[in-house]
C-alpha cells in the first residue's frame, strides 16, 4: 500500500448493552482505566486468577525484544488449573463437556470425570515414553478425547501440535517432521456429513515418512477397519482406559512450551506458532471471562470452532476449562442430518453463549430465516464472532435471527499468533456497532498506523499493529527465530504487524478491513475488500460476497465481485442480469462511484480454506483468467468449476 486505506463505509447503528447484563457483568468499564494506569500490574492481577505452584519474580522480561518472557520464575500446571482445582473446590460434579456426536450419540462428562480421563491419558503417555519437552501430534475428530489428549500433554509438560482432522497426509507429515513429534494421537475415523470418515490411513501414510514417531495412539470412534502395526500402534481403550486415574501434576515453568499450532496457511507455508504456559493461560482465561461474561454456575457455553484451530485451543479447551465452564462440543457439520442442527442443539442444551464464525452466519443467511425460527433460542444471552470481518448486515442478521434482537454480539479480533482475543467489545460495557471489533481489551495496545508507522487520526485507515507485548503472544516460530522476526517485527520498527488492514472511525473505534495483501488499488485509491463485500451483503438479495482486484488497463485494478444470493432470490436469465445491475448501483450508492464493481458474478459457493475463510487469491486468478494452481486446501475444488462457468453468464459491461 502506498497510502493509507480509504474509509468508505459509514455505519451509524449502535447497540448499548442490555441493562441486566451490564449491571451483573464480570468486567466493567473501570477495567480499562485500571489497565491504562499500570498495564503490568493489571496482567499480574489476571495471572492471580490461576493457581500457581510458585509465584513469579517478574511480570514481563522484554529486554530482548521481540522475545518476551512473562511471569518469569513462576511455575504452574495448566491441566491442574483446568481440572484439579475445580474438583478440589467442590465442583467435580459440574458438567465440563456435553458432547454431541454427529450421528446423534452423546456423552456428558463432569469435571471429576474429565480429570480422571486426563490422568489416565497422562499415565498412558508416560508409559509410551513421552516426557516433558517432547512433542506429541494430535490428529483427531471433534470428540472429547481431543480435549483429553491436549490436557494430558499439558499435564506432563509435553508440547502438543494439533493438526486439523481434515488435513491431508502431506500436511500432517510436514507438521510432524517440523516439530519432530514422538507420538501421534488419532482415531480410526470421525463422522462427517453422515458417514464415517477415516483418519488412521492418513496417519499411516504420514508416519511412514516420519521416523521420529515411536507410537500411534488410536481412539476407536467409528469402528471401521484399520491397518495395524503391532510395534507402533496402541489402542486408546487398551492403553488409556486401563491406566490409573491417579496422577500428580508437576508444575512447569511459566515459559515452558505448551503447544505449537501451525497457522492455517491462507497466505503462505504454515508457520509453527509457539505458545507457552503462564502468560497464555492467563490471557485465555481472562478474555474468556471478560468477553463472554461467563458465569460458570449457570451458563452453557458453545464455541463451534474445530479444536484444530486456535479458537478451539483457547476457547474450547484452555479458557473455558480454566474458568470452570460447562460447554457443548459438537462433532459434525451444521447441515447434518438437517440444516437446523445447530439450533436444535442450542434448544436441547439451553445454550446461553454461542461463539461462531462469519462463514457460518452467512451460510445460515443463505439457507434462510425460516430455519432458526423453528427452534427455541430463548436461552441465548450473548453471541460472538471470530475469524473474518463480519459484514454489518450479517451482524444484524445474527442479532435479529439468532439473538432475537436482544443479545449483545462480541466481534473478536485475534490470531493464532496472538493466542487470545485482543480487540473486542466488553458485553456489559460497550455500545456495539455492527461490523466493528470496537476497542483493544484492557491491557492491550492496538493501533492503526500509516506506512511511516504514524498513528492515523480518527476517520483514517491503515495497518493494524500491536504496540506492547501481551501475555499470550507467540514466543517464536518453532525452530525459526529469524522467520519470527522477519514475519512479524520487521515491517515497522518495534511494532508487531499483524498483516491486517483496519480503520478508526470518527469515535476512534476499530474496524477490521481484511488482509493488506488483498487491498485493491483502484484509480490511485486503496480500497479494502471488506468494505465492498459489506456493501454487497447490505443488499437484501445477497448472503455472501467476495471481492478482488483484477488487473485493469485503465484503473490499475478493477473490482470484481463474486456474490452468493440468498436462498429465495430468483437469478435465472434476465432476473440475474437485472440483479447484477442493481447490485453495481447499490455499491456505487453506498460507498461512492470509485467502489463500483466492474463485474459481478452470481455464484452458488465461494472457495474457502479449511477454517472457512474466503480464499481471495484464487478468485483473483479466476478474475484475471489465470490458471488455478494448487486448490488442494479448498473445501471443494468443484466450486472453482462453478465459479468459472458463472463468469460467462454474469459478466457485465464496463461503464
Q: Which residues bind ligand ATP (CB under 6 A)?
A: 263-267, 309-310, 386-389, 411-413, 415-416, 437, 498-500, 512, 515, 611, 613
574 is in an annotated binding site: no
State the Cα–Cα distance between residues 603 and 645, nearest whole angstrom. 9
365-376 in b/e form (b: 16+ CB < 10 A) is: bbbeeebbeebe
Q: Least separation, in Å, of the C-beta of 389 and ligand ATP?
A: 4
Which is nearer to ligand ATP, 264 or 557 (by Cβ)?
Answer: 264
Q: Which is nearer to ligand ATP, 189 or 389 (CB)?
A: 389
**Dist CA 511 CA 502 (whole Å):** 5
DSSP β-bridge partners for residue 541: none
CA distance 572 to 95: 51
CB 562 within 8 A of CB 545: yes
Yes or no: say if 34 and 286 are a contact pair by the CB < 8 Å rule: no
Q: Please, which residue, 529 or 555, has the CB nearer to ligand ATP?
A: 529
Q: 159 has which bridge partners? A: 135
Q: Is 450 annotated as a binding residue?
A: no
Please check if 173 is assigned to a binding site. no
Nearer to ligand ATP, 293 or 500 (CB): 500
Give the cell for residue 28.
466493567
**178 marked ligand binding residue:** no
Least distance (Å) from ligand ATP to the CB of residue 421?
9
Cβ neighbours around 268 below 10 Å, total: 9
119 close to 82: Cβ distance less than 8 angstroms: no
With respect to ligand ATP, which residue has the nearer C-beta, 17 or 514? 514
- For residues 337 and 499, which CB has a smaller minimum distance to ligand ATP in the complex? 499
Cα 623 to Cα 601: distance, rounded to the nearest angstrom: 10
- Smallest gap from Cβ 435 to ligand ATP, in A, equals 9
From the CB of 614, what's the least distance to ligand ATP, in Å?
10
583: cell is: 447490485
Q: Is 311 annotated as a binding residue?
A: yes
| 515 is known to lie in a ligand binding site | yes
**418 annotated to bind ligand:** no
Task: Map residue 241 onto helix, strand or coil.
Answer: coil
| Structure letter (DSSP) for residue 43 | H
Q: Cβ of residue 140: shortest distance to ligand ATP, in angstroms?
A: 19
R_g of the chain computed on alpha carbons: 24
537 labeled part of a ligand binding site? yes
Tell the smallest beta-carbon distance from residue 271 to ligand ATP (Å).
Answer: 7
Q: Which of 264, 29, 286 is nearest to 163 (CA)?
A: 264
Flag whether 388 is marked binding: yes
Q: Quick one: cell of 540?
A: 437484501
- Joined together, the cell numbers standing for residue 51 give 493457581
Based on CB atoms, which residue is closest to ligand ATP, 403 or 565?
Answer: 403
By beta-carbon proximity to ligand ATP, the closer residue of 161 and 416 is 416
385: Cβ contacts below 8 Å, ≥ 6 apart: 355, 356, 357, 358, 361, 395, 398, 409, 410, 411, 412
Closest CA to 449 of 463, 438, 467, 439: 463
- 19 vs 268, beta carbon nearer ligand ATP: 268
Q: Is 389 annotated as a binding residue?
A: yes
3-state secondary structure of 115: helix
**Distance (Å, whole) CA 626 – CA 617:** 11
Task: State the nearest-atom distance from the C-beta of 502 to ligand ATP, in Å.
Answer: 8
**Least gap, CB of 346 to ligand ATP (angstroms):** 21
Question: For residue 144, what is its C-alpha cell?
Answer: 472429547
Distances (CA, A) of 485 to 122, 464, 642: 35, 17, 41
Q: 415: annotated binding-site residue?
A: yes
DSSP labels, 217-233: EEE-SS-------TTTE
What is the C-alpha to C-alpha distance for residues 443 and 282, in angstroms, rounded to an integer?
A: 12
Identify whether the C-beta of residue 186 lies closer than 8 Å to the C-beta of residue 139. Answer: yes
How far apart (Å, rounded) are the C-alpha atoms in residues 442 and 423?
Answer: 9
Return all residues near 408 (Cβ < 8 A) that are at least 6 apart: 15, 17, 18, 21, 382, 383, 425, 427, 432
203 assigned ligand-binding residue: no
Select from 427, 424, 416 the least CA-distant residue to 444: 424
Helix axes 30-37, 39-47, angle to 10 degrees: 110
The response to whether 381 counts as a known ligand-binding position is no
Q: CB-wise, 219 or 449, nearer to ligand ATP?
A: 449
Which of 338, 414, 278, 330 shows the shortest CA–CA distance to 99? 330
Please, what is the minimum distance in Å from the beta carbon of residue 420 to ligand ATP?
12
288 with 317: CB under 8 angstroms?
no
Taking the complex as a whole, the smallest distance from the CB of residue 381 to ligand ATP amounts, in Å, to 20
* Closer Cβ to ligand ATP, 92 or 389, answer by number: 389
447 is in an annotated binding site: no
Please say whether the beta carbons of 258 and 276 come within 8 A. yes
Q: How far is the CB of 258 from ligand ATP (least distance, A)?
A: 17
Determine if residue 416 is labeled as part of a ligand binding site.
Answer: yes
* 523 marked as part of a ligand binding site: yes
594 by Cβ neighbours in 10 Å (0-12 / 13-18 / 19+) ranks as: middle
Minimum CB distance to ligand ATP smaller for 151 or for 386: 386
Is residue 404 annotated as involved in ligand binding? no
In the complex, least distance from residue 177 CB atom to ligand ATP, rounded to whole angstroms:
18
Minimum gap (Å) between residue 80 Cβ and ligand ATP = 28
- Closer by beta carbon to ligand ATP, 32 or else 309: 309
- Closer to ligand ATP by CB, 276 or 529: give it: 529
Question: Closest distance between ligand ATP and the C-beta of residue 152, in Å?
Answer: 24
Residues within the annotated binding site for ATP? 387-389, 411-416, 500, 515
Residues within the annotated binding site? 192-195, 311, 387-389, 411-416, 500, 515, 523, 537, 539, 542
Residues within the annotated binding site for Mg(2+)? 537, 539, 542
Residues within the annotated binding site for CoA? 192-195, 311, 523
Amino acid at each position: 500500500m502506498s497510502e493509507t486505506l480509504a474509509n468508505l463505509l459509514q455505519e451509524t447503528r449502535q447497540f448499548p448493552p442490555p441493562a441486566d447484563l451490564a449491571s451483573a457483568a464480570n468486567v466493567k468499564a473501570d477495567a480499562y482505566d485500571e489497565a491504562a494506569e499500570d498495564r503490568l500490574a493489571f496482567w499480574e492481577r489476571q495471572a492471580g486468577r490461576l493457581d500457581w505452584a510458585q509465584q513469579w519474580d517478574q511480570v514481563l522480561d522484554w529486554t530482548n525484544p521481540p522475545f518476551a518472557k512473562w511471569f518469569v520464575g513462576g511455575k504452574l500446571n495448566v491441566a491442574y488449573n483446568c481440572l484439579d482445582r475445580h474438583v478440589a473446590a467442590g465442583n467435580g460434579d459440574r458438567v465440563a463437556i456435553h458432547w454431541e456426536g454427529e450421528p446423534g450419540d452423546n456423552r456428558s462428562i463432569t469435571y471429576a470425570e474429565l480429570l480422571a480421563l486426563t490422568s489416565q491419558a497422562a499415565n498412558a503417555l508416560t508409559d509410551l515414553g513421552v516426557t516433558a519437552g517432547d512433542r506429541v501430534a494430535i490428529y483427531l475428530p471433534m470428540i472429547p478425547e481431543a480435549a483429553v489428549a491436549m490436557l494430558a500433554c499439558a499435564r506432563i509438560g509435553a508440547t502438543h501440535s494439533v493438526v486439523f482432522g481434515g488435513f491431508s497426509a502431506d500436511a500432517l507429515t510436514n507438521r510432524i517432521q517440523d516439530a519432530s513429534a514422538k507420538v501421534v494421537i488419532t482415531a480410526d475415523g470421525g463422522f462427517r456429513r453422515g458417514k464415517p470418515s477415516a483418519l488412521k490411513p492418513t496417519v499411516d501414510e504420514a508416519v511412514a515418512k516420519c521416523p521420529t514417531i515411536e507410537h500411534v495412539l488410536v481412539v476407536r470412534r467409528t469402528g471401521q477397519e484399520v491397518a495395524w502395526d503391532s510395534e507402533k500402534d496402541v489402542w486408546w481403550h487398551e492403553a488409556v482406559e486401563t491406566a490409573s486415574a491417579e496422577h500428580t501434576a508437576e508444575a512447569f515453568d511459566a515459559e515452558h512450551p505448551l503447544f505449537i499450532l501451525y497457522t492455517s496457511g491462507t497466505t503462505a507455508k504454515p508457520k509453527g506458532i509457539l505458545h507457552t504456559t503462564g502468560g497464555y493461560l492467563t490471557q485465555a482465561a481472562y478474555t474468556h471471562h471478560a468477553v463472554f461474561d461467563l458465569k460458570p454456575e449457570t451458563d452453557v457455553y458453545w464455541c463451534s470452532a474445530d479444536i484444530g484451530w486456535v479458537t478451539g485451543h483457547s476457547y474450547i479447551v484452555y479458557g473455558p476449562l480454566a474458568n470452570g465452564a460447562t460447554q457443548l462440543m459438537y462433532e459434525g457439520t451444521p447441515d447434518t442430518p438437517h440444516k437446523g442442527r445447530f439450533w436444535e442443539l442450542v434448544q436441547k442444551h439451553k445454550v446461553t453463549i454461542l461463539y461462531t464464525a462469519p462463514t457460518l452466519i452467512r451460510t445460515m443467511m443463505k439457507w434462510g430465516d425460516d430455519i432458526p425460527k423453528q427452534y427455541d433460542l430463548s436461552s441465548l444471552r450473548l453471541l460472538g464472532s471470530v475469524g473474518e470481518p463480519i459484514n454489518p448486515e450479517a451482524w444484524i442478521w445474527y442479532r435479529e435471527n439468532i439473538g432475537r434482537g436482544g443479545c449483545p454480539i462480541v466481534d473478536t479480533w485475534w490470531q493464532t499468533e496472538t493466542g487470545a482475543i485482543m480487540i473486542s467489545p466488553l458485553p456489559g460495557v460497550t455500545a456495539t456497532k455492527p461490523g466493528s471489533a470496537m476497542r483493544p481489551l484492557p491491557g492491550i495496545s492496538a493501533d492503526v498506523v500509516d506506512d511511516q508507522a504514524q498513528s492515523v487520526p480518527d476517520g483514517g485507515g491503515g495497518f493494524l499493529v500491536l504496540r506492547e507485548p501481551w501475555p499470550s503472544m507467540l514466543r517464536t516460530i518453532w525452530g525459526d527465530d529469524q522467520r519470527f522476526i522477519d514475519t512479524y517485527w520487521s515491517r515497522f520498527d518495534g511494532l508487531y504487524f499483524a498483516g491486517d488492514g483496519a480503520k478508526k472511525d470518527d469515535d476512534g473505534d476499530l474496524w477490521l478491513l481484511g488482509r493488506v495483501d488483498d487491498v485493491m488499488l483502484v484509480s490511485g485509491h486503496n480500497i479494502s475488500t471488506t468494505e465492498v463485500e459489506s456493501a454487497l451483503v447490505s443488499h437484501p438479495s445477497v448472503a455472501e460476497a467476495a471481492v478482488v482486484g483484477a488487473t485493469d488497463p485503465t484503473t490499475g485494478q478493477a473490482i470484481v465481485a463474486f456474490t452468493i444470493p440468498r436462498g429465495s432470490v430468483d437469478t435465472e436469465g434476465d432476473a440475474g442480469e437485472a440483479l447484477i445491475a442493481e447490485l453495481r448501483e447499490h455499491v456505487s450508492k453506498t460507498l461512492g462511484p470509485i467502489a463500483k464493481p466492474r463485474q459481478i458474478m452470481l455464484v452458488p459457493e465461494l472457495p474457502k480454506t479449511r477454517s472457512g475463510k474466503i480464499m481471495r487469491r484464487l478468485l483473483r486468478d479466476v478474475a484475471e483468467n489465470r490458471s488455478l494452481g494448487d486448490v488442494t486446501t479448498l473445501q471443494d475444488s468443484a466450486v472453482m468449476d462453478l465459479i468459472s462457468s458463472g463468469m460467462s453468464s454474469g459478466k457485465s459491461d464496463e461503464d
